[in-house]
Amino acid sequence: HYLAGGNVDRVVNALIASQRAGIALDFEKACAIDLAGRDVLTAVQMSVSPKVIETPVIAAIAKDGIELRAKAKVTVRVNIDRLVGGAGEETIIARVGEGIVTTIGSSVSHKDVLENPDSISQTVLNKGLDSGTAFEILSIDIADVDVGVNVGAKLQIDQAEA
């Protein structure tokens, strides 16, 4: 492993940490993760204690024409079996953002979303967005929902002026 450019110290520390945490990780898999460019020790630590990923502010328009801006916190845990070849944090953020936009866009009124922001979380969680990624999504919490501009009214004004 050393001759292939691997970090033997990190692999040994990861094997010790995984054994203490009760995670099944053998030497070959730890070496494969290390040689794939991933930090195997951090991966073991993240599979024990989950990580929170914050999404940027995501803007979406409900069917009534009101723009809503949402921000979410996604709690993820590393899936060691899918770490090599699995998509990373950026993919999780993009998929959660897409799910939020879809959920807000399919809601009849922006008031429905403001009254029950948990509906966004449940809809996005039920889509199985973590498939093919190195992570398992544990929870999605909508941290903030703000009302943006009234796009529907702006379009009507522009059409009336035209």
Domains in the chain (CATH in brackets) are: 1-49 (no CATH), 50-161 (3.30.479.30)
* Residues forming beta bridges with residue 77, ordered by sequence position: 136
Q: What is the pLDDT of residues 120-142, one digit of tens each?
A: 888 888 888 777 788 888 899 99
The SS3 of residue 48 is: helix
**Diameter of the chain by CA atoms?**
72
* pTM, 2 dp: 0.76
Question: 53 and 92 in contact (C-beta within 8 Å)?
Answer: yes
Q: CA 33, CA 29: separation in Å to the nearest integer?
A: 6
Give yes or no for residue 2 having a pLDDT over 70.
no
Q: CA 147, CA 65: separation in Å to the nearest integer?
A: 11
